[in-house]
Every structure is written in C-alpha cells, then in structure tokens.
Amino acid sequence: MARIRRVDDKREMERVIDDFITQGYKVKNQGERSTLMKKKTWGSGGTHLIIGILTVWWTLGIGNLAYAIYKYFTAEEVQIKVDDK
C-alpha cells in the first residue's frame, strides 16, 4: 500500500517528483494527475554485513540474497496526486 502525497497543482507535482528522484525513488507509473513512485533499494550495507557475519558460513550468502530480494520488493511506495479543488 502506497502512502499518498497530495499537491495543489501540476507544477508542484513536478517539483515533488524531482525531490523524490533525488532521494532514490523511481517513477513506476505516471499519469496526468498522479504519479506512483517506488524507492529502489537492496537493503542497507550494515544489515548485509551483520547477516553476512552471522550466516555466511552456513548459508553461503543465501541469507543476504533473501534479505536483498525482500527489501527490493517491499520498498516504500509514494503516490503523488493533484488535489481536486
């Protein structure tokens, strides 16, 4: 489920889209009055390091792979909508 960010007009929507792109989001779907964006991430380096230290001997890196896939598919989504006034 995506969180919703409401904006007043299309110009503001473009500024917000640009802000999210600089934060690492990608445009998943764009329409005239709404845009769905998703953050593309494979997980944090620190967490991968901890998982690697704790499980690499037994799982040969499968734990890290599972974590990366999980983070990629459950990444945060934001829907930007122009408010109807």
Map out the domains of the chain as residue ranges. 3-82
Tokens of 62: 């499968």
> How far out from the chain centre does Cα 75 lie?
4
**What distance in Å separates the CA atoms of residue 14 and residue 27, rounded to the nearest whole number?**
12
pLDDT digit string (tens) for the chain, length 85 residues: 689 999 999 999 999 999 999 999 999 999 999 999 999 888 888 988 998 888 888 888 898 899 999 999 999 999 999 987 6
**What distance in Å separates the CA atoms of residue 50 and residue 63, rounded to the nearest whole number?**
10
What is the model's pTM? 0.74
